[in-house]
Structure 1
């Protein structure tokens, strides 16, 4: 319990990404959605990236939303929901 508290106060790992969470990935319609909520002022900010392999190139769209949620898992789920909506609405033009 104390370890979890210290992680939330001082970052989730010792890799230099203070306040970043472990990535949650979802395959969706040929895209890879990577949810990476960021700890910001005690809340989890909705952020992550959408990737798509095109030939030998990996296209990446990174975004950080203003939305914050008190729970890391909820922020990851919200990022995945928003990413799916974005893919459905604009498709590959997300990478332009």
Structure 2
């Protein structure tokens, strides 16, 4: 894709690193908010997906990514398979 980004002058956003936790795949996906970054993540397993979005807003994207993974792990510990119901 470098050809297209160079052609149109844009830069591809780096993808957040995924993490595996108890057979679930967590991809941090914080969203830009007016006053920082809102916690968000995608939790996947066996083709099922749960999009986690929280109201919490942090100052930096890096902080939001770390908090997003931590919150996703907490949800997996608390809900397990019920995440996908």
Task: Give the alignment's TM-score, normalised by structure 2.
Answer: 0.80
Q: Distance in 1 between matches of 2:39 and 2:17?
A: 12
Match of residue 27 from structure 2: 34
Unaligned runs of 5+ in 2: 1-9
Match of residue 75 from structure 1: 64
RMSD: 1.9
> How many pairs does the alignment contain?
76
Contact 1:24 1:36 in 2 (8 A): no
The runs of 4+ residues in structure 1 deviating greater than 6 Å are none
Residue among 53, 60, 64 paired with 2:53: 64
| 1:25 counterpart = 2:22 | no
Alignment CA distance shift 1:38-1:22 (3 Å): farther
Task: Give the alignment's TM-score, normalised by structure 1.
Answer: 0.71
Deviations 1:73-94 (A, max 9, x none): 1101101001101101110110
